[in-house]
Amino acid sequence: MASSSLYQRELAAAVKAASLAARLCQTVQKSILSSDVQSKADKSPVTVADYGSQAVVSLVLKMELPSESFSLVAEEDAGDLRKDGAQDTLKRITKLVNETLSTDSTYNISLSEEDVLAAIDSGKSEGGPSGQHWVLDPIDGTKGFLRGDQYAIALGLLDEGKVVLGVLACPNLPLASIANPDRDASQDQIGCLFSAKIGCGTDMQLLNGSTAKKIHVSTIENPADASLFESFEAAHSMHDLSSSITQKLGVQAPPVRIDSQAKYGALARGDGAIYLRFPHKGYREKIWDHAAGFIVVSEAGGVVTDAAGNDLDFSKGRYLDLDTGILVTNKKLMPLLLNAVQDALKEKSLSTSLL
């Protein structure tokens, strides 16, 4: 068990940073305008909230931990915001960042547009196996965010290549289980924050500040009782492959499809027992899409591997180098799941080689 004081300041800073960033995202989601959405060179959407959230997290971490060296591996960069025609967008982001930081009475600062660009661009670190690196997805599940569905602010810390803490702020995730179709959504308290520190378990609290309680993954042992999480977006994960895996396992419940690392959070508290992710050929997973979710699930007693059963390696830079897909479940179900995955992958490669 790690000492409870280890990484405590960093965890407190991460919780504060992600909570403030979540506030900014909620403001934007409420008033989303079509002009708030840009297209990056890779054609994925990015909003003023992605940029604003990244700036807020970067600034808060630096202000809360002034004596520490700072390295941040983050998804966005300010390249497009420095181009002609982006002035209005940058103004709007700067205003959002200043308004968000001013809601915390301990910060008495006013940032210029240049300060905001610099804060966003401080996320260009390459990470790697030595030293400490923050890992940030300022909005994970941008597509869900734009639809008004699930998204997460995902922040982790790597130390010597290992994830040592993680925070997932999920502003649209109900406190009640999302896998229960009979729940009365009108009664839901909404907005959860998951936090985990190595050796110390995983906590969940309401985003607006209830006391934290320890959570644990589902203890089910019979896969027939498991329910499955997967991406809402079929372009992000092959739904037909996960369906053939759950058929092999005898899973009864229909898959629960939601965006972002909210899936890791929901699994960590036992809403469902399996999360499968099978990107289409050629896609490379990024560390910010998994670092926080990985430790939130591991510290809640779950396991995260690639499709071959290998541990995820966060020490290789901005990308995860892995075999085929990502599997998340509890320790009892993992061996069964791995077998089913291997069988389904064999069948799939057989059927494609026959084409």
Ligand X SMILES: Nc1ncnc2c1ncn2[C@@H]1O[C@H](COP(=O)(O)O)[C@@H](OP(=O)(O)O)[C@H]1O
For the four alpha carbons of 55, 125, 160 and 335, in that order, the dihedral sign comes to positive
Q: Which of 130, 189, 235, 349 binds ligand X (CB under 6 A)?
A: 235
Asked if 240 touches ligand X (CB under 6 A), the answer is: no
Asked if 37 touches ligand X (CB under 6 A), the answer is: no
Helix (H, G, I), strand (E, B) or coil at 271: coil
Residue 235 interface partner, choices ligand X, Mg ion, none, CB cut-off 5-8 Å depending on type = ligand X
Whether 88 has a binding-site annotation, put simply, is no
Q: What is the DSSP string of 123-188?
A: TB----SSSEEEEEEEEE-HHHHHHTS--EEEEEEEETTEEEEEEEEEEEEESS-TT-TTS-GGG-
Q: Which of 142, 205, 242, 315 binds ligand X (CB under 6 A)?
A: 142
Q: Which of 289, 296, 303, 344 binds Mg ion (CB under 5 A)?
A: 289
Is 209:23 a contact under the CB 8 Å cutoff?
no
Residue 317 interface partner, choices Mg ion, ligand X, none, CB cut-off 5-8 Å depending on type = none
**Residues 53-82 interacting with ligand X (rule: CB under 6 A):** 75
Active site residue 311: no
Smallest distance from ligand X to CB 50, Å: 8
Q: Which of 4, 8, 44, 219 binds Mg ion (CB under 5 A)?
A: 44
Active site residue 77: no
Q: Of the candidates 140, 113, 122, which has an alpha carbon nearest to the alpha carbon of residue 261?
A: 140
Catalytic option among 47, 89, 100, 142: 142
Compute the distance between CA of residue 88 and CA of residue 307 in angstroms, rounded to an integer: 44
Asked if 149 touches ligand X (CB under 6 A), the answer is: no
Q: Using the rule CB under 6 A, give the single segment among 7-15, 114-122, 276-284, 301-309 that binds ligand X.
A: 276-284
The CA angle 125-131-132, to the nearest 5 degrees, is 65
Q: Using the rule CB under 5 A, give the single segment among 60-68, 75-83, 114-122, 243-251 that binds Mg ion.
A: 75-83
Smallest distance from ligand X to CB 125, Å: 17
Q: Which of 10, 64, 203, 259 binds ligand X (CB under 6 A)?
A: 259
Compute the distance between CA of residue 47 and CA of residue 35 in angstroms, rounded to an integer: 9
Is 131:141 a contact under the CB 8 Å cutoff?
no
Compute the distance between CA of residue 152 and CA of residue 33 in angstroms, rounded to an integer: 20
Task: Copy the structure tokens of residue 343.
Answer: 């069988």
CB closer to ligand X out of 72 and 198? 72
CB closer to ligand X out of 173 and 198? 173
Asked if 299 touches ligand X (CB under 6 A), the answer is: no
Residue 184's CB is within 10 A of a number of other CB atoms, namely 8
Residue 344's CB is within 10 A of a number of other CB atoms, namely 23
**Residues 128-187 interacting with Mg ion (rule: CB under 5 A):** 137, 139-140
CB closer to Mg ion out of 139 and 196? 139
Determine the length of the chain. 355
Is 230:121 a contact under the CB 8 Å cutoff?
no
Asked if 319 touches ligand X (CB under 6 A), the answer is: no
Is 178:261 a contact under the CB 8 Å cutoff?
no
Asked if 259 touches Mg ion (CB under 5 A), the answer is: no
Residue 335 makes CB contacts below 8 A (sequence gap 6+) with none
Asked if 110 touches Mg ion (CB under 5 A), the answer is: no
Asked if 141 touches ligand X (CB under 6 A), the answer is: yes
Is 327:334 a contact under the CB 8 Å cutoff?
yes
Compute the distance between CA of residue 217 and CA of residue 303 in angstroms, rounded to an integer: 10
Q: Which of 87, 188, 283, 311 binds ligand X (CB under 6 A)?
A: 283
Asked if 39 touches Mg ion (CB under 5 A), the answer is: no
Whether 311 has a binding-site annotation, put simply, is no
Smallest distance from ligand X to CB 154, Å: 8
Q: Of the candidates 271, 267, 278, which has an alpha carbon nearest to the alpha carbon of residue 244?
A: 278
Residues within the interface to ligand X (CB under 6 A) = 44, 75, 137, 139-142, 144, 231, 233, 235-236, 259-260, 279-280, 283, 286, 289
| Site residues (vs Mg ion, CB under 5 A) | 44, 75, 137, 139-140, 289
Which sequence positions are flagged as catalytic? Answer: 50, 142
